[in-house]
Amino acid sequence: MAMIVCHGPKGGAGTTFIAAHLATGLAEAGADVTVLTVSPRDTLALHFGLQPALSLPSMTAPVNEAVVAGGINLRHYRRAPVDPDFIPMLRDLGYLAPGAHRVLVLDVPAGEQAFGRRAITHACAHVCPLNAAPDTLALLPAMFGEAGEAGLARTAFVVNALDETRRLSRHGAAFIRELTGPRLIGRVRLDEAVPEAIAMLQPLARYAPASAALADVRLVAAAMVPALDNNVSDAWIAPAAVSRAA
């Protein structure tokens, strides 16, 4: 059992999109996956083609209240950032140990930096979605300074919603590529199919199986599979072939 934290320095980077498709990819790889969002206003269910009015059950809700989409258990726990028993609860549930059989993908909004950093210290890996936009780049020094070396030791970066037709976007992505080096595990291209799938109340894979973003995010998920066997106290970095491809 393992936990992967999805958390970025700036809202709007598509953290929930990445978390949802990371969960899908890990489930397709054979894991029993739960996605837990701690956002007070989450959109997780929309990425699975579910109705916007659907309210996800709490982490502590009984099994008969579970919402399962695509074989993935969707939960919320909005009190997590202020609940001192949250991490002990995850430990009791077995999510703070390596193992690819059962996986918890934790979707943490950008505004919950302190909670995000605390959760990352207990995770086998941290996925950090970034937009290649200058305002996002401007936040990286603060993020790196707050996280420190230990806080970045298991971090993998993903450039999301990359518009390669825009020069500044390409330059921003190139900057991230140079900055993060082997820790960049993927680039997900901007794709109108992503919001269209939400608008159609369909999973992206059903609405647009040829979606460029879908192909890209599947590679991201595949890159994270080896991280599930990483010890929580150990650094983790994606295999060199993954970072070269990114």
Partner 1 sequence: MRIDARNLLNRLGKNEFSYKEFEDRFTDLELWPILEALLRDPRLQTLDQVNAPAAQAVQDTRASDEQPLGALFSRYEHETNGAALRQGTPRHGDRQPGQDVRAMLRHLSELGARGEI
Helix extents (H) in 29-77: none
Does residue 199 touch partner 1 according to CB under 8 A?
no
C-alpha span between 147 and 72 (Å, rounded): 30
125-154 residues in contact with partner 1 (CB under 8 A) are: 134, 137-138, 140-142, 144-145, 147-149, 152-153
Q: Work out how close the CB of 208 gets to partner 1 at its nearest, in angstroms, rounded to a whole number.
A: 5
**Residue number with CB closer to partner 1 (102 or 183):** 183
Which one of the spans 37-45, 50-58, 82-90, 175-183 is the region binding partner 1 (CB under 8 A)? Answer: 175-183
Which one of the spans 31-39, 48-56, 117-125, 177-185 is the region binding partner 1 (CB under 8 A)? Answer: 177-185
**Residue number with CB closer to partner 1 (85 or 192):** 192
- In the numeric block, which tokens belong to residue 17? 């999109």
Token pair 């193992």: residue: 99
Which element (helix H / strand E) includes 115?
helix 113-120
C-alpha span between 27 and 72 (Å, rounded): 7
In this structure, the strands spanning 67-69 and 72-76 are antiparallel
Which one of the spans 36-44, 45-53, 97-105, 172-180 is the region binding partner 1 (CB under 8 A)? Answer: 172-180
Does residue 195 touch partner 1 according to CB under 8 A?
no
- In the numeric block, which tokens belong to residue 62? 């009984």
Does residue 21 touch partner 1 according to CB under 8 A?
no
- In the numeric block, which tokens belong to residue 44? 């997780």
**What are residue 102's DSSP bridge partners?**
32
Total interface residues for partner 1 by CB under 8 A: 45
Contact 156, 183 (CB under 8 A): yes
Tell me how far the alpha carbon of residue 153 is from its chain's centroid. Answer: 16
Give the count of beta carbons closer than 10 Å to the beta carbon of residue 87: 18
**Residue number with CB closer to partner 1 (66 or 142):** 142
Does residue 165 touch partner 1 according to CB under 8 A?
yes
Does residue 178 touch partner 1 according to CB under 8 A?
yes
Q: Work out how close the CB of 174 gets to partner 1 at its nearest, in angstroms, rounded to a whole number.
A: 4
Pick one of 171, 199, 206, 234: the residue that binds partner 1 (CB under 8 A).
Answer: 171
C-alpha span between 3 and 77 (Å, rounded): 15
Interface characters, 79-118, with partner 1 (x: CB under 8 A)? ----------------------------------------
C-alpha span between 195 and 12 (Å, rounded): 13
Q: What is residue 1's DSSP assignment?
A: -
Chain contacts with partner 1 (rule: CB under 8 A): 134, 137-138, 140-142, 144-145, 147-149, 152-153, 164-165, 167-168, 170-171, 173-175, 177-183, 189, 191-193, 196, 208-212, 215, 235, 237, 240, 243-244
